């Protein structure tokens, strides 16, 4: 029942089932609640200070772009890493299997913030000691902070998603693979045409949750001076000495981003035909 590594967190993530449907909105008590909520919003926007907003709006827009760039680049890179990680755990020779298992356990057993700081402060302080690295073409990038953020988020996503893909690969019915082989497909063709698409199909609902979790991890990169939307809000807080207003706006921004992300995944899932269900 329990695997040695902790189970993934997908059951806890925000997924398409959590979005309300349009028709469920208009029940009497909901209309009342929404009216109360609207008054609250109006009260908040009247009583709190929002005069800083126009000045920082362009920066905030840029911060959102950075956050989304972080999210998509690390999710895609992490997924590309997760496919081999999952695959070798199902079929691979034991050294690869053990390596993938250890990698997933270590990454999932330590906090992302620690991994991020390990890469940025640890490796970042080590690299300048090697003249070979300092003279290489990579140095202009290694001096920046975002490569460390991308690396840490990618590794983390790969480890969590690697476990998911392991389950997805193992869960593809053996009969389908046998049928493909009976048609004379080579191993690579079986993998490309049957195994991988079926595994992704099975993992898609979980993938939504993991991507939302990844979005929720992106503000951590602000702690290593990447200027994402969280970092911009922190700057606003320092400049204006306001505590709540910027943070409330930030929470609202992330709520909207999550909602849009989940809606997009729901559209994607609906495009894939499923029988029954």
Partner 1 sequence: MADPAPFINWSLLALSPPGWGSVLLSGLINSIQIAIGGYSLGLLLGVGGAFGKLYGGPILRDLLECYTTIVRAVPELVLILLLYYAGTDLINQFMGLAGLPAVDISGLAAGIFVIGVVQGAYSTEVLRGAIKAVPSGQIEAARAFGMSPVKVMTRITLPAMLPYAIPGLSNLWLIATKDTALLAVVGFSELTLVTRQAAGTTKAYLLFFCAAGVLYLALTLVSNVFISIIERRARRGLAEAA
* Residues at the site binding partner 1, with contacts judged by CB under 8 A: 1-2, 4-9, 11-14, 18, 27, 29-30, 33, 105-106, 108-115, 117-118, 121-126, 130, 212, 215-220, 223, 230, 243-244, 247-248, 250-251, 254-255, 258-259
Question: Distance between CA atoms of 166 and 202, rounded to whole angstroms?
Answer: 11
Q: Considering the complex, what minimum distance in angstroms separates the CB of residue 143 from partner 1?
A: 16
Q: How far is the CB of 176 from partner 1 (least distance, A)?
A: 20
Site of tokens 């992490």: 78
Phi-psi region of 184 (alpha: psi -120 to 50; beta: other; left: phi over 0): left
Structure tokens at 166: 């392991």
- 203 burial via Cβ count (<10 Å: 0-12, 13-18, 19+): buried
Closest CB to partner 1 among residues 91, 105: 105
Using the minimum distance from each CB to partner 1, give the nearer residue, 33 or 98.
33
Number of helices (H), then strands (E), belonging to the chain: the values are 13, 0
Alpha carbon distance 44, 248 (integer Å): 10
Min dist. Cβ of residue 101 to partner 1 (A): 13
The two three-digit tokens of residue 182, written as one number: 């009976």
Least distance between partner 1 and beta carbon 228 (Å): 11
Residue whose CB is less far from partner 1, 65 or 80: 65
CB of 170 to partner 1, least distance (A): 13
| Of 101, 105, 86, residue with least CA distance to 171 | 86
State how far the Cα of 187 lies from the Cα of 211, in Å rounded to an integer. 30
Nearer to partner 1, 194 or 250 (CB): 250
Reading phi first (left if > 0) and then psi (alpha if -120 to 50, else beta), residue 137 is in alpha
First to last CA, the chain: 25
For residue 162, the minimal CB distance to partner 1 (Å) is 17
Q: Using the minimum distance from each CB to partner 1, give the nearer residue, 9 or 238.
A: 9
């Amino acid at each position: 029942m329990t695997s040695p590594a902790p189970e993934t967190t997908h059951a806890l993530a925000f997924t398409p089932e959590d979005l309300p449907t349009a028709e469920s909105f208009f029940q009497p008590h909901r209309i009342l609640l929404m009216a109360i909520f609207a008054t609250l919003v109006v009260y908040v926007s009247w009583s709190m200070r929002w005069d800083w907003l126009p000045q920082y709006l362009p920066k905030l827009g840029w911060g959102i772009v950075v956050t989304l760039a972080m999210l998509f680049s690390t999710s895609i890179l992490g997924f590309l890493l997760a496919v081999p990680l999952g695959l070798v755990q199902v079929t691979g020779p034991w050294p690869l299997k053990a390596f993938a298992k250890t990698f997933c356990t270590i990454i999932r057993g330590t906090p992302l913030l620690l991994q991020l700081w390990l890469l940025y402060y640890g490796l970042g302080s080590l690299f300048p000691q090697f003249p070979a690295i300092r003279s290489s073409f990579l140095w202009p990038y290694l001096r920046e902070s975002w490569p460390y953020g991308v690396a840490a988020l990618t590794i983390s996503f790969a480890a969590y998603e690697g476990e998911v893909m392991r389950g997805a690969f193992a869960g593809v019915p053996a009969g389908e693979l046998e049928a493909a082989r009976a048609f004379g497909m080579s191993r690579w063709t079986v993998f490309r045409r049957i195994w991988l698409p079926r595994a992704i199909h099975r993992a898609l609902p979980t993938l939504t949750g993991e991507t939302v979790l990844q979005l929720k991890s992106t503000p951590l990169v602000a702690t290593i001076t990447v200027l994402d939307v969280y970092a911009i809000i922190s700057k606003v807080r320092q400049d204006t000495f306001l505590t709540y207003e910027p943070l409330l706006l930030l929470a609202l921004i992330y709520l909207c981003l999550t909602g849009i992300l989940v809606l997009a995944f729901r559209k994607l899932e609906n495009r894939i035909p499923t029988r029954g269900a």
